[in-house]
Amino acid sequence: MSISQNAPTRHAKLIAWVNEVAQMTQPDSIYWCNGTKKEYDAMIKIMVDGGLATPLAKKPNSYLFRSDASDVARVENRTYIASKSKDDAGPTNNWINPEELKTTMRSLYKGCMKGRTMYVIPFSMGPIGSPIAKIGVELSDSPYVVTNMHIMARVGKKVLEVLGENGEFIPCLHTVGKPLLSCQDDSGKWPCAPLDKKYIAHFPETREIWSYGSGYGGNALLGKKCLALRIASVQARDEGWLAEHMLILKVTNPEGKSKYVAAAFPSACGKTNLAMLVPTIEGWKVETVGDDIAWMKPGKDGKLYAINPEAGFFGVAPGTAMDTNPNAMLSITANTIFTNVALTEDGDVWWEGIGYDAPGKLIDWTGKPWIQDKGNKSQAPSAHANARFTAPAQQCPAIAANFDDPAGVPIDAILFGGRRPSTIPLVHQAKSWNHGVFMGSIVGSEITAAALDLKAGTIRRDPFAMLPFCGYNMGDYFAHWVKMGEKNPNTGIKFFFVNWFRKTKEGKWLWPGYGENSRVLKWVFEQCEGTGKSVETPIGIMPTADAIELPAGVSADDMKELLTVDVEGWKAELADVKQNHYSKFSNLPKALAEELAALEARLA
């Protein structure tokens, strides 16, 4: 099969690769995506006709999908960094020999698209043509992937124009791993391969992504975690920039002055809520630039300029409600893809934590009838814990006007955080760039259901929230951060560590979170301005007792506890960092060992 005549490009390398993959996977046809609404609608029609998508009467141009039970989340134990040397993947990644993996995967890919169409999806991560953006091309046999990529990235003809005849692109190969015999179709069932045949593979040296057997989220929408974090982190190291698992928001004070904040939180810590926060404090405004990923490059003025490489949100549905995240709820009233949520009788969606009772008889995410039984605490949820919505970022009422400015936005502050019931105060600020890098390197959180293969309820270290997403040795990644500080002394960036999840000994939340987090953002803003009320402590710079106005329900004693330096707790924390975390890295940068020693000395 030769495809050069149909290809809407003269990029010889791209055409050759598409040909080569087609020879191997043997699709019935090849379709080059152009990114139009007509194309989106045609893909949806294929899936509605095939029984894979359900139109939602209550949400215009929106559809519900139910995935297979083996295909509900990112699969970290099937995700590989296949660098030539194991050491380059480092102690925290799943390494495999690239040649061995390619041999295994090639035999799986052989004929895997039989009975299906192979879609060629040219996409840009970041505004098309931005000096910070990168181009990828995903080959996939999934129309679900095509429609989600339409929302999550910039797809189509314009991307091929920018790519020209010789432009650089990242090849991303994806299949659901379920070839169809002649005259067979999916019979309304989500196609994928069994768990032990799923592979999410990254080849950092050749900048390639190969994904097999999953049609879900981060495993299949390859522009997101695979390209924008795992491969981009390697490019960023080599090219002197940062590809980070960070939201970006714009805070504006009552006088109209704005600051840009990037923030890294492990999965399931309310990152989307913070990105779309509605402030409770008079006159302050928060706008969304991105909810998950930030690419930051040094500008001519020495500051770091960030873009959100994505064009949409792939947000967790359960827990999203008008009172927790109204902007997310308003972003998903139309033109949205829902996956693994429950369906109401009148054609709407429902999930646990949506803010109102389930209206009558539902169909749960597995396709079975479900009636809410509030008396039954062990009732299986109607929506999967990792059920998702895919919605265009432009639909968010809080989207910043410069969300897709190709030049990016200048970052003033970087926040780290995690779910930490004890020890870590509400907020503290780093004394220097390297102290900030140290803070990022020790991020830890209670884990939840976002990763299929990890036990819920325990705490894991998740440095910079990049543990599942760093495409190379994490010790080298820390060193890259240190080097970025040395090479860019004039960023002006201040680092902060926040913790919305402190509990009393009795297990009561100490801080209300959500919109009230704007009080902490206000202090961050003031610290960047040099007007905040602060005090030096052994762990860093902290707000004075009266620096942050108390929200309703938080007493002065609660605030005192939230801002206490728990010396014994910190000593235990640092002992844990040394023994169970830093000890994994034979290449830990000296600067971080020094930060740790200095903090120990200040606490002694």
Interface residue list for Mn ion (CB under 5 A): 292
Chain residue whose CB lies nearest ligand O2Y = 217
Residue from 172, 192, 226, 269 carrying the catalytic annotation: 269
Nearest approach, Cβ of residue 129 and Mn ion (Å): 26
Judged by CB, which is closer to Mn ion: 292, or 558? 292
**Residue 191 has what DSSP assignment?**
P
Nearest approach, Cβ of residue 450 and ligand O2Y (Å): 5
Nearest approach, Cβ of residue 387 and ligand O2Y (Å): 10
Tokens of 103: 């041999």
Instruction: Residue 73: name its binding partner from ligand O2Y, Mn ion, none (Cβ under 5 to 8 Å by kind).
Output: ligand O2Y
SS3 label, residue 358: coil
Judged by CB, which is closer to ligand O2Y: 449, or 565? 449
SS (H, E, C) 469-497: CCCCCHHHHHHHHHHHHHHCCCCCCEEEE
Judged by CB, which is closer to ligand O2Y: 445, or 527? 445
User: From its phi and psi, is residue 127 left (phi > 0), alpha (psi between -120 and 50) or beta?
Assistant: beta
Tokens of 434: 């390297």
Judged by CB, which is closer to Mn ion: 44, or 269? 269
Chain residue whose CB lies nearest Mn ion = 292
Evaluated on CA atoms 39, 45, 48, 52, the torsion sign reads negative
- The residue type of 437 is V
Judged by CB, which is closer to ligand O2Y: 3, or 459? 459
Instruction: Residue 124: name its binding partner from Mn ion, ligand O2Y, none (Cβ under 5 to 8 Å by kind).
Output: none
Judged by CB, which is closer to Mn ion: 291, or 573? 291
Instruction: Residue 147: name its binding partner from ligand O2Y, Mn ion, none (Cβ under 5 to 8 Å by kind).
Output: none
Which residues are CB-neighbours of 110 under 8 A, at least 6 positions away? 24, 25, 26
Nearest approach, Cβ of residue 229 and Mn ion (Å): 8
Distance CA 97, CA 319 (A): 40
DSSP E strands in 481-538: the ranges are: 494-498, 534-537
SS3 label, residue 425: coil
Nearest approach, Cβ of residue 382 and ligand O2Y (Å): 19
Interacting residues toward ligand O2Y by CB under 6 A: 73-74, 216-219, 267, 292, 314, 386, 450
CB 594 within 8 A of CB 433: no
- CA nearest neighbour of 229 among 47, 368, 81, 98: 81
Beta bridge partners of 260: 250
Judged by CB, which is closer to ligand O2Y: 312, or 543? 312
Which residues are CB-neighbours of 168 under 8 A, at least 6 positions away? 135
Residue with tokens 């003809």: 157
Distance CA 196, CA 173 (A): 19
Distance CA 302, CA 431 (A): 20
CB 165 within 8 A of CB 199: no
Tokens of 356: 């109102």
Which backbone phi and psi does 389 adopt, to 5 degrees?
-115, 140
Tokens of 506: 């009795």
Nearest approach, Cβ of residue 274 and ligand O2Y (Å): 13
Judged by CB, which is closer to ligand O2Y: 80, or 314? 314
Nearest approach, Cβ of residue 73 and ligand O2Y (Å): 4
SS3 label, residue 83: coil
Instruction: Residue 392: name its binding partner from ligand O2Y, Mn ion, none (Cβ under 5 to 8 Å by kind).
Output: none
Instruction: Residue 523: name its binding partner from ligand O2Y, Mn ion, none (Cβ under 5 to 8 Å by kind).
Output: none
SS3 label, residue 258: strand
Nearest approach, Cβ of residue 547 and ligand O2Y (Å): 31
Is 269 annotated as catalytic?
A: yes
User: From its phi and psi, is residue 306 left (phi > 0), alpha (psi between -120 and 50) or beta?
Assistant: beta
Judged by CB, which is closer to ligand O2Y: 179, or 468? 468
Which residues are CB-neighbours of 97 under 8 A, at least 6 positions away? 82
CB 317 within 8 A of CB 35: no
Nearest approach, Cβ of residue 293 and Mn ion (Å): 7
Distance CA 602, CA 102 (A): 50
Our CA dihedral for 10, 13, 19, 21, rounded to 10 degrees, sits at: -140
Judged by CB, which is closer to Mn ion: 141, or 292? 292
Nearest approach, Cβ of residue 217 and ligand O2Y (Å): 2
- CA nearest neighbour of 531 among 255, 276, 288: 255
Catalytic amino acids?
Answer: 269
